Amino acid sequence: MRFLRTLCELRVLIPILLLVVFAADLASRTISRSWYAFRAWEAVENQRDPGAPFHRNQHSGWEAYGDLAALGNLPAHRAYRREFFSTDEWGYRTSGEAVAGFPPGAILTGDSFAVGQTVNDEETLAARLSMLSGLQVYNAGGRTLDLFALGTIARRLKLDRGTVIYEYLDRTLVPEPPLPIEAPKPRSRKIRPRKFLEEFFSFSPLSVVLRRIHRKIEDDRILPNPSRKNVVVARLKDGSSMLFLPDDDNSPIEREPEQIIRFWRWFAAELGKNGLDLLLVLVPNKSEVYGPLALDYQPKNVGHGAGHERVIQALRSEGILALDLTPILREKAEAALKKGEILYWPDDTHWNREGIRLAAEEIYKVWHTALLRREHR
């Protein structure tokens, strides 16, 4: 009799529990991303509007930590820092009030290194270049290889003769040219139930929250931590620890230099049709800079060799501005480590404020020379 009563109770309890979970999941899909994002980038990222990488006119303050610490579920290696992330009316990151009135001079684009990961608006690469040059360097990061967007931004800024500074992370393989140059398809205002439901159910914030709760007990004490294999925890020569991606030492520039050259030659020619010059900046992987400075982590391929030199020399021989930051950052990183300083966040794949400052200074040297040459044409 007791068994039957228990069974009846379960027959009622389980459906109620399922309904509660289902209702909570539905409710979680209506809340702002800022409730469950772990850094400001995620809170303002725009996944619906093809015309902008971020939501427009946003200002988000965040207590952020590194992507590698999150990827490996290593809370002990988190380095928390406060981050302020603001966007303009077009959905791109701003560079702070100090440079707002500067005349337009260049457009910076690329991936997260260009946008500025886990730094404040006025500490981004675009902001640093603006302060060095006295010209507005518009931060169009987040829209990689998008010639149409670059042309649109140049017209908005009334940038008839300017420079596109393209930050290119050298672990990224560019496609064979040419690429289609077309406007993103406008988002239809007509409500399509099927499309709406697909977008609504494509991502569950509740699952993210539950996963994070579960990861808290995956600490190698209560439960094993399967995420640990996603990162490498290495010790530097000064005894400090630093996180790396395990496959962060494979540079396509060394494998496919001719494809890289063909692409950027074509890209520069397309920009030239709009009166814009290209300044290509090769940004190294973290392991290319700090792999040689680690005691217990030796990357298989540090990624900088004949391929990098071939790309830079070939582009320069055709009058295209090109800069490889790898040897410069390696030299500066070794010198900084002797003073107990680093150029990349220890828990992240990106450079920190000091790394951005040094990169901006080297980029400005090349850009400034081009500006002087343009004035004397």
Query: Does any domain span residue 237?
Result: yes
Q: Residue 353, Cβ neighbours under 10 Å: how many?
A: 17
26: in domain: no
In the numeric block, the tokens 């494998």 are attached to 255
Residues 290 and 335: beta-carbon distance below 8 Å: no
What is the tally of structural domains in the chain?
1
10 in a structural domain: no
82 domain-assigned: yes
pTM of the shown model: 0.86
CATH (domain of 157): 3.40.50.1110
Domain that holds residue 356: 33-375
For residue 131, is it within any domain? yes
Written as tens digits, the pLDDT of the chain (377 aa) is 555 565 556 566 777 776 776 676 666 666 666 666 767 777 788 766 667 889 899 888 888 899 999 999 999 999 999 899 999 999 999 998 878 788 899 999 999 999 998 899 999 999 999 999 999 999 999 877 788 889 999 999 999 888 999 999 988 878 878 777 666 555 554 555 665 555 555 667 767 677 777 788 887 888 889 999 999 999 999 999 999 998 765 678 888 889 999 999 999 999 998 889 999 999 998 999 999 999 988 876 655 678 889 999 999 999 999 999 999 999 999 999 999 999 999 999 999 999 999 999 999 999 988 776 666 55
Task: Classify strands 241-244 and 232-235 as parallel, antiparallel or unpaired.
Answer: antiparallel
Residue 249 lies in a domain: yes
Which among 282, 281, 277, 309 is positioned nearest to 373, based on CA atoms? 277
> Would residue 2 count as lying in a domain?
no
What b/e string do you get for 293-308 counting C-beta neighbours within 10 Å, with b at 16 or more? bbeebebeebbbeebb
Instruction: Judge whether 66 lies within some domain.
Output: yes
Which amino acid, 319? G
- Tell me the C-alpha distance between 197 and 242, whole Å: 42
